[in-house]
Amino acid sequence: MKKVSQLIGSFALGAMMALPSFAQPLVQPNSPDYNPKATYDGPYKLNTWSISAHFGPSMFFGDLREYDFWPVTKTSSDSHKESGTFQGGLTLNKQLSYLFGARLDASLGNLRGMKRRTYNRYFEGNYFDVSLSGTVNLKGLLMGPNKMKRWKIDAYAGIGQVFYDATAYDLTGGVKLRETGNMNDWIVPTGLNVNYEVTPRIDIGLDFRLTHTNSDYLDATYGGDYDRTPNSFNIADQKTSRKGNSELDSYGYGAVQVTYKLGKKALKVQKVDGKWDYKPEEGGYYHLRYTDPRVLVKPPKILTLEEMDSVAKANRPKDIDPRLLLDTDGDGVSDFFDKEPNSPAGSIVDGAGRVLDFDSYVKNALATGAACSEIFANVTFDTDKNVLKPEFQELLKNVAALMNKNGCRLQLAGHTDRRASDRYNIALSKRRVEAVKNFLINEAGLQDPSKVIVDYFGSFKPIADSATRPGLQKNRRVELKLLP
């Protein structure tokens, strides 16, 4: 049975060591020195590990207990009093979330007790226990993250094992009556832990614990049924530590505790103008023991009109050269790039705006098989019409022949003047583009319609002043852009 208990205890300790893996992050950190083993994966990264040392008086609760704070004596008189009982230990803490955590405890101490009535004996013994417990942040649960900000109050309960030995003596003569030898059994620790944050690294506090055991033999004495067999506690051949008719033994302590918070670049929140001012952007980490990750998420700022105007002015791009937006001669090349900004209306130009003899260009390209160059031309329309004028039909037939021969592509963009609603102008510019494309396919003999790219903009991209008749005529157009 002892070996089985030790095996189960080892398994529990192994499970504790695996617990941190459940809190490892799933996303990339927001700091270059982020350590996934030391932080919590919330809106901001927080430290989560700490280690505590505790020391204080211990107390036994069982058969050999007469009064809560009565001194143990070895004789019937109170002249010979034993020294007090103490324990000390270490605790490894892992905060899994702001409200819940886990702790691994190891404690070493001694116990004493006596009872004159019925038993007339006292005992003294030593113990070592180890346990794994879950914790609940009562202060955070009941009061929230910002009230009693420096305080942390946890309730905890868990499971573990105790290893102990004890010796019982006759109270009158001090004769040794029984020794337990080295024994072990299950324990269930319960307690309350109160801490105060002193520095970013150090907490001080108190730890109050009551440990329930699965044994009636911590005091080397089995309790009996006193009404029927008054001396049943004196049985000498018990085979396990759980025999006896009385309640199982327990023990506890009240201890002073010092905690060191682990992790990189520890921060401690400060008050500014009466409010807690969190600044995780300073390059450090708050601790999940005292910081709810939700308080680090700052609410979005609602800008005033003046602030929005200031932001817009600060982010305003540099002014665009107005020549990029103008095409004075309407040849499809903006004045900024146009080498000949005063080309005659309807001229065929290259990518630099230079006037070309389109017929000569087409004949030369068809004869030599030269690669296509970027060439611009405009096909204009009458007011509110999408019917091709005869003077542009020969132009489009030459374009189709060049596309069939050299594999050129053609980009068509439809436009209107501004004398209608935007919705109507968009539809009219689309009809003009389709008229040109249909002529290329059905009349000019274009073999591959997929090489024609179409778009239409209504009156949103004028190339001339719409306040004049010549300007209106230039804006009623389909731009042809021959591409390699």
The Cα 343–Cα 356 span in angstroms is 10
pLDDT at 19: 40
Tokens linked to 218: 């911590």
pLDDT at 225: 53
pLDDT at 205: 97
Under a CB-based contact definition with an 8 Å cutoff, are residues 259 and 51 in contact?
yes
Bridge-based pairing of strands 183-197 and 86-95 is unpaired
The Cα 286–Cα 298 span in angstroms is 15
Answer left, alpha or beta for residue 33, where phi above 0 means left and psi between -120 and 50 means alpha.
alpha
pTM of the model: 0.55
The DSSP bridge partners found for residue 184 are 163
Strands of 239-284, DSSP E: 250-261, 270-272, 275-277
3-state helix, strand, coil in the chain (%, to 5): 25, 35, 45
Q: What SS3 state is found at 430?
A: helix
The Cα 408–Cα 402 span in angstroms is 7
pLDDT at 324: 67
Answer left, alpha or beta for residue 118, where phi above 0 means left and psi between -120 and 50 means alpha.
left
Tokens linked to 101: 């955590």
Q: Name which of 8, 142, 125, 104 is nearest 60 in CA terms.
A: 125
pLDDT at 234: 47
Q: Name which of 85, 86, 184, 183 is nearest 131 in CA terms.
A: 184
Q: Name which of 304, 308, 353 is nearest 326 in CA terms.
A: 353
Question: What is the DSSP secondary structure assignment for residue 65, as one 8-state letter?
Answer: -
For the chain, give every domain's residue range. 2-17+36-69+79-295, 357-483
Q: Name which of 478, 476, 479 is nearest 384 in CA terms.
A: 476
Report domain 2-17+36-69+79-295's class: mainly beta
pLDDT at 16: 41
pLDDT at 323: 65
pLDDT in tens, 288-305: 999 998 888 777 778 888
User: Which amino acid, 229?
Assistant: T
The Cα 110–Cα 160 span in angstroms is 18
CA dihedral 477, 479, 480, 484 (to 10 degrees): 180
- For 71-138, the DSSP string reads PPBSSSSTTSBPPP-EEEEEEEEEESSSSEEEEEEEEEEEEEEEETTTT-EEEEEEEEEEEEEEEEEH
Q: What's the angle, vertex CA 91, arms to CA 180 and CA 129, rounded to 5?
A: 10
Question: Angle between the 358-368 and 390-406 helix axes, to the nearest 10 degrees?
Answer: 20
Residues of the chain with pLDDT under 70: 1-43, 67-84, 224-244, 319-325, 331, 345-347, 357-359, 362-363, 366, 369-371
- In b/e form, how buried is each residue of 47-81, taking b as 16+ CB within 10 angstroms? bbbbebebbbebbbbbbbbeeeeeebbbeeeeeee
Q: CATH: 1.10.287.70, 3.30.1330.60, 3.40.50.300, 3.40.50.150. Which one for 357-483?
A: 3.30.1330.60
Q: Residue 9 phi/psi, 5° resolution?
A: -65, -40
pLDDT at 484: 77
Under a CB-based contact definition with an 8 Å cutoff, are residues 180 and 125 in contact?
yes
